[in-house]
Structure 1
Amino acid sequence: MAVLTTLPTTPARVGAKQWIALASVLLATFMGLLDASIVTVAAPSIQRSLGASFGEAQAVMAGYTLAYAVGLVTGGRLGDLYGRRRIFLTGVLLFMIMSAACAAAPTAPVLILARVAQGLAAAVMLPQVLAIIQSSFTGPERSSALGLYGATIGLASIAGQIVGGALLAWNPLGLGWRGVFLVNLPIGLAAIVVARCTVGESRGPRARLDLAGAAVLALALTGLLLPAELGWPLWGWPVLLAGAGLLAGFGFLERGRTNALVPMRLLARRAMVRGLGTVLAFYAGNAGFFLLLAYHLQAGLGESALGSGLIFAPLGVGFAVSSLLGKRLGALVTGTVLMVVSLAAVVLVVIAVPSSSQVVWLLPVLALSGVGEGLVAAPLVGRILAGVDPADGGAASGVLLTATQVANASGVALIGGLFAAVLGGTPGAPGSDFGRYVHATGVTGVVVLVLAALTGALARTLGRGRRG
């Protein structure tokens, strides 16, 4: 049995074993992020096969992302309390089991329940990855490890649409959409086998899990995220306000608790607060940009889902490559400049270039955008987590990933809503001519550009107050 030790502040010299361990946890990261997007491509097939309504098809996608966001902080804290390696392996195993359950689902309601459970498993699994990186690496090696983490995010961001489209087109063994869930089984098995042999155990001081805090935070995040995930139904605003009230109540509940789910010392650090603000601007802009560009490509230019994914591929590749290079704070600011330039170029291409030539012009511009985003992502994670108390590594990772999910949901809701309003109709519905998509994409693209500039302004503040 592995010996549980407090997460060290200065790990021993990094050797081959730590790098192999990193590969195993990044493999699980790829699997979890892939599953968030791959189902989007399969949604029409799922709807037809199971005779599901459009609302049920939405719930298949929203159930995963919502459960994942709601459980991240608790999942991270579980690793702090009971061992990050142990909780990581448990999360991967649960993820595999629920992937098989999704593939075997006979009806839409069963699939929705399995997707919710799968999202909770991801929330147990993924916060441990950053905590394990923090415990296993230091100095330049940690920067390199975080760069590989960023590269994994970049590859996963493009792989969902490409792998999903390829699986549906290939249809191995006649599995249809069920194959997009079964692909997780060999990936998860490889991650477990390698991690069991290479990942060392670490945790913070023993304490009881703050069950009251976990329950209140789960309800608060559900209230904040559910309306956006379900397309803002009439009851969305009261639920949103209730979620905000519960979040304030959670902060009051956690003050002074020795076993707080989110130790207030984390949020007392200026670097953490500034970093989370940067995360919100960065990921809200990215999520909104991906949404409006996907609609422009598919509904405006008439590209298929797979074709749209291939057009996004240069962005993901640029993200992955530059994540390996963006190891310094200066790269973070440089990345935001590249984002602003590339987004301005996207708006210019959409407005000024004929529809027949837009894809050709967009490919290099999207590659530049990906380079900028990759230069931001990895240094931003490193800066936020730098100086965090080793005992709080999992909780800090959970808070960071939760902020990312809140930003994604907010970006899709706000920028998507603005896009629909400027378009003057439902995006993707018949009857909207190309000129209206040009106008809507151009206007909302400027908003995304402003968020990129805001990310740069906030990133500059991360160079101050390094002591937290």
Structure 2
Amino acid sequence: MTAVITQPPRTAGGFGTRGRVALVAVLLATFMGLLDASIVTVAVPSIQRGLNASFGEVQFVSAGYTLAYAVGLVTGGRLGDLYGRRRMFLVGVVLFVLASLVCAAAPSAAALIGARVLQGLSAAVMLPQVLSIIQHGFTGPARATALGCYGATVGLASITGQVAGGALLAWNPFDLGWRSAFLVNVPIGALALAIAARTVPESRGTRARLDLPGAGLLALALVALLLPPVQGQGLRTVAGGLAAAVAALALFALVERRQVDPLVPMRLLAQRRMVRGLLTVLAFYAGNAGFLLLLAYHLQSGIGLDPMGSGLVFTPLGIAFAVTSLMGRRRSSLVCGTILMAIGLAGVLTVVLAAPEAGQAGWLLPALTLSGTGQGLVAAPLIGKVLAGVDPADAGAASGVLLTATQVANAAGVALIGGLFAHALGAAPGSPAASFPDYVHATAVTTTAVLALAVITGFLVHER
């Protein structure tokens, strides 16, 4: 029987050699969960053709995962607090691998959508436990190193997904087509499960019951907030969803204040450091998500690169992000990182406006490397900034809130920056009606907006 640890171990700043192996296991699961979100994006056109799906159905292949993941994160984190973070992590990995197999075998679009929703819910159980395990198991410099490794994993997964997705579709092993994009999760998940079962120690917060009314209201609020933008609905629908989400969140806050065991302890949101950190997360990740979207359209529809070529242009950004995530262990790197982000984005803006169409992809590489360097310096210490001072009993809830804020930021960035891009383009992105000068104008306008978000991020991380 596994012993339950209720206070972080203090030996050597972490849990020794076994702890480092455990870190590898939880980071493998993190890589798998984030890889799945990006690799499927590349495979969407093939899925649509292979299953004879409508555009709305294929949209929800991606949106179903994102929505289920975001809706379940806080509840998933709280389940770890209540029933054991190791236990819920292992359950999440098993469910994710099984859902991946169902996705790969899906005979229809409806079956694939259902499996993707299950995948998202499985990720919501699995991934909040990762940050909780790191917060609980490591202290001092060891925790900073572990968070740096986490940030590096995030960067590698996001870029690897785009490159690997294009490579798998081009290679088409065993004539599996798009189904191979889901089957890659099986060996990764099996390895993570085998290592974690032997090395990750059990921990939990105060034993209590799950706040079902709070979970229901929060899920309702997040569905209302995220469903319209992830489905690409119009401004009126998005605004209506936002109004419904605000009302549901107000009721959620009222209910939580009266709960003995709330889903989100209000003491978390009473901490000025955490609130400021969450606002920083919203600005940082909204800008990053919007930037990836607009640049993908510029590279593929504006310049004419194929998905594989576009993914290769993104690669220096991802590598720089991963490498500097391991370096950005100090809070001082937050300000330095935002400055580098801003300089890199200004470089992208200059290249887009000044470089000829034929040479833009090459000229973008240095600017993207600089931007990725800045992002990596911000990502890891930002996580530590948000979670610093959180009671170990609330580690799961706090991790769920942090990851939910990240997902909200991603959805908002794609919706708002994507909407601004389409408006500035004057046509549907990808439409043959738009010319290269049109894409130059739209990319310049939206890159300026992303640059403004980087400046806001710098202002928020600056300690006064």
**TM-score using structure 2 length:** 0.98
The alpha carbon displacement at 1:166 in A equals 1.1
Kept in 1, the 8 Å contact 2:13–2:142? The answer is no
The alpha carbon displacement at 1:383 in A equals 1.1
Counting only pairs closer than 5 Å after superposition, residues 435-450 of structure 1 correspond to structure 2 as 435-450=437-452
**Matches of 2:112 and 2:180 in 1, distance apart?**
14
The alpha carbon displacement at 1:58 in A equals 0.4
Partner of 1:95: 96
Partner of 1:459: 461
The alpha carbon displacement at 1:5 in A equals 2.8
Kept in 2, the 8 Å contact 1:388–1:396? The answer is yes
Partner of 2:26: 25
Residue 428, structure 1, aligned to residue 398, structure 2: no
2:123 counterpart letter in structure 1: A
Counting only pairs closer than 5 Å after superposition, residues 173-252 of structure 1 correspond to structure 2 as 173-233=174-234, 235-252=237-254
Deviations along 1:335-354, one digit per CA (max 9) or x if unpaired, are 00000101011000000111
Where does structure 2 lack aligned partners over 5 or more consecutive residues?
none
Partner of 1:348: 350
The alpha carbon displacement at 1:9 in A equals 6.8
Where does structure 1 lack aligned partners over 5 or more consecutive residues?
none
**Matches of 2:458 and 2:268 in 1, distance apart?**
23
**Matches of 1:314 and 1:278 in 2, distance apart?**
25
**Matches of 1:445 and 1:364 in 2, distance apart?**
16
Kept in 2, the 8 Å contact 1:11–1:137? The answer is no
**Matches of 1:12 and 1:357 in 2, distance apart?**
51
Partner of 1:58: 59
Kept in 1, the 8 Å contact 2:325–2:379? The answer is yes
1:73 counterpart letter in structure 2: V
Partner of 1:152: 153
Partner of 1:318: 320
Change (3 A) 1:78 1:11: farther
2:162 counterpart letter in structure 1: Q
Counting only pairs closer than 5 Å after superposition, residues 350-365 of structure 1 correspond to structure 2 as 350-365=352-367
**Matches of 1:115 and 1:11 in 2, distance apart?**
41
1:66 counterpart letter in structure 2: L
Partner of 1:107: 108
Match of 2:291 among 283, 289, 297: 289
The alpha carbon displacement at 1:357 in A equals 1.1
Match of 1:309 among 308, 311, 327: 311
Partner of 2:2: 2
**Matches of 1:84 and 1:351 in 2, distance apart?**
49
**Matches of 1:60 and 1:90 in 2, distance apart?**
23
Change (3 A) 1:155 1:423: same
SS at match of 2:223: helix
**Matches of 1:314 and 1:13 in 2, distance apart?**
33
Runs of 4+ aligned residues of structure 1 deviating over 6 Å after TM superposition are none
Partner of 2:38: 37
1:157 counterpart letter in structure 2: S
CA root-mean-square deviation: 1.1
Kept in 2, the 8 Å contact 1:11–1:136? The answer is no
**Matches of 1:354 and 1:123 in 2, distance apart?**
44
The alpha carbon displacement at 1:429 in A equals 1.0
The alpha carbon displacement at 1:4 in A equals 2.0
Partner of 2:267: 265
Deviations along 1:256-285, one digit per CA (max 9) or x if unpaired, are 422100000100111100000100110011
**Matches of 1:139 and 1:3 in 2, distance apart?**
24
The alpha carbon displacement at 1:457 in A equals 0.3
The alpha carbon displacement at 1:239 in A equals 2.8
Partner of 2:127: 126
Partner of 2:396: 394
Kept in 2, the 8 Å contact 1:227–1:240? The answer is no
Deviations along 1:222-274, one digit per CA (max 9) or x if unpaired, are 00000001101464432331122101111111014221000001001111000
The alpha carbon displacement at 1:306 in A equals 1.2
Which stretch shifts more, 184-193 or 168-177? 168-177
**Matches of 1:13 and 1:423 in 2, distance apart?**
52
2:184 counterpart letter in structure 1: V
**Matches of 2:258 and 2:390 in 1, distance apart?**
19
SS at match of 2:203: coil
**TM-score using structure 1 length:** 0.97
2:6 counterpart letter in structure 1: T
The alpha carbon displacement at 1:12 in A equals 6.0
**Matches of 1:237 and 1:453 in 2, distance apart?**
26
Kept in 1, the 8 Å contact 2:65–2:116? The answer is yes
Kept in 1, the 8 Å contact 2:37–2:65? The answer is yes
Deviations along 1:193-237, one digit per CA (max 9) or x if unpaired, are 000110000000100000110011001100000000110146443
**Matches of 1:236 and 1:292 in 2, distance apart?**
20
Deviations along 1:118-153, one digit per CA (max 9) or x if unpaired, are 000000000000000011110000000000000000
**Matches of 1:6 and 1:221 in 2, distance apart?**
31
Kept in 1, the 8 Å contact 2:9–2:138? The answer is no
**Matches of 1:322 and 1:11 in 2, distance apart?**
27
**Matches of 2:112 and 2:239 in 1, distance apart?**
28
Change (3 A) 1:9 1:220: farther
The alpha carbon displacement at 1:13 in A equals 4.9
Kept in 2, the 8 Å contact 1:78–1:209? The answer is yes
Change (3 A) 1:13 1:327: closer
Match of 1:254 among 253, 256, 260: 256
Kept in 2, the 8 Å contact 1:223–1:244? The answer is no
**Matches of 1:275 and 1:237 in 2, distance apart?**
25
Partner of 2:386: 384
Partner of 1:331: 333
Kept in 2, the 8 Å contact 1:299–1:427? The answer is yes
Kept in 2, the 8 Å contact 1:340–1:452? The answer is yes
Kept in 1, the 8 Å contact 2:72–2:219? The answer is yes
SS at match of 1:241: helix
Partner of 1:82: 83
SS at match of 1:261: coil
